[in-house]
Amino acid sequence: MTAIDEVALPAPARAALEEVVGRALGKEHVEVVDWSIQKVPGGLDRSSTVYRATGTANVGKGLQEWSVFLKVFQPLPGREDPASAFYWRREPEAFASGILDQLAEGLVGPRLLGTEDHGTEVWLWLEHVGGVPGTEWTLDQALAAVRKLGTFSGAYLAGRQLPSEPWILRDLRHAWAVEAAPGIARLAAMRDHPLVRIGWSDGLDEVVLRFWEDDRPRFLEALGRLPRTLQHGDPNPLNMFVRPVASGGNGRAGGVEQTVVIDWAFLCITPLGEDLATLASYAAAWGRGKPGIDAQATTALIIETYTEGLRENGWRGDAQLVRLGYHLTKALRYLLHPFVLELLDEVDHTRAEQKFGKPVKEILQSVPNILQRGLAAAGEARRMMGQR
């Protein structure tokens, strides 16, 4: 019996679903007895939608409960070009390529349970990762993940050949700026609008527009001179989990934790500092409750740990390049965030309110804090480049 609570929800074929469930449970043959599927709230990208399917299956020795995720990708205008920051097929291609099978020791992507290409849609069936989400990590767990991500990217800095597939995003910040351009034009035309007065209050609109004209070109140029490597593109706490690794024949955890990173839609070959800029933005949350450790000290720990990870595979580059890439990227990421700028377009308001569960005006109240992240980084980047 199938229970679907929305007409628009996907309706997978039973045979395909049973193959997916069998892989999830590690069983060769299963019979799905009942199942339901629900949309998972959250996420900003309009090209993909995530669902969770749950149910019970007959595995030959009784019934067993199961849970898997289905991510559905659809093409949207402007997102059909592999050069786009939001190319709709990038994550399905990443899973198909095998790149996610060779990340770093203790760092993995979610297990792929099945792929269905329906032409105008691609479905990825993925394991229910479980474990502790990044939003609940201790500082030690966060630093362990930071080191692994550094080790992953460091292998390419130390000589591993970069992949050449055309769907991998090149120079994420350049692509990001292209996506931000319509929003910047809208911001310039709406200086006196109530939405701007909420999100870009106290002159932040002028600051952002000046950054776009003066700093963006030279920041992108400076980034272009830094070493390039393969990076996740968006390793925020919502995209990461830690879970124990089973060892021995009894299936018990062996005391080792594995970091699982989901959402590879921004997989990119881009200048050094991309992943670090996202990771260090959550320093205050990860350092909370740690005696004697404030956000500034936690940020320094994250940068140091990431750099150590880069060096584990033999990279001997200048650590100041890591810091410069971090500040340049962070400024460009948060001052020119396309999803933030889209809040000025009334066409996107309904979607934004559904995603966040609150009115757009309330969403905009958090924008000044996001912009302040970018402003602080921009100031430090200018200092490092010897600019005023």
- Condensed to tens digits (0 to 9), the pLDDT of residues 197-225 reads 999 999 999 999 999 999 999 999 999 99
Tell me if the domain spanning 132-384 has CATH number 2.60.40: no
For the chain, the domains span: 1-75+111-128, 132-384
pLDDT score at 245: 84
Report which secondary-structure segment, H or E, holds 112: strand 112-117
pLDDT score at 93: 97
At 181, the amino acid letter reads A
The whole-number average pLDDT for the span 310-318 is: 95
Q: Name the phi and psi angles at 292, rounded to 5.
A: 75, 5
pLDDT score at 3: 37
pLDDT score at 46: 76
pLDDT score at 6: 39
Averaged pLDDT of the chain:
91
* 293 pLDDT more than 80: no
pLDDT score at 9: 76
pLDDT score at 278: 95
The whole-number average pLDDT for the span 318-326 is: 97
Longest CA–CA separation in the chain, Å: 71
Residue the block writes with tokens 């302040």? 372
The whole-number average pLDDT for the span 56-61 is: 92
pLDDT band at 144 (very low <50, low <70, confident <90, very high): very high
* 7 pLDDT more than 50: no
The full DSSP string for 250-319 is T--EEEEEEEEE---TT-EEEETTHHHHHHGGGHHHHHTT-TT--HHHHHHHHHHHHHHHHHTTT----H
pLDDT band at 359 (very low <50, low <70, confident <90, very high): very high
pLDDT score at 78: 80
pLDDT band at 250 (very low <50, low <70, confident <90, very high): very low
The whole-number average pLDDT for the span 45-72 is: 92
Cα–Cα dist 50/318, whole Å? 40
* 252 pLDDT more than 90: no
* 180 pLDDT more than 50: yes
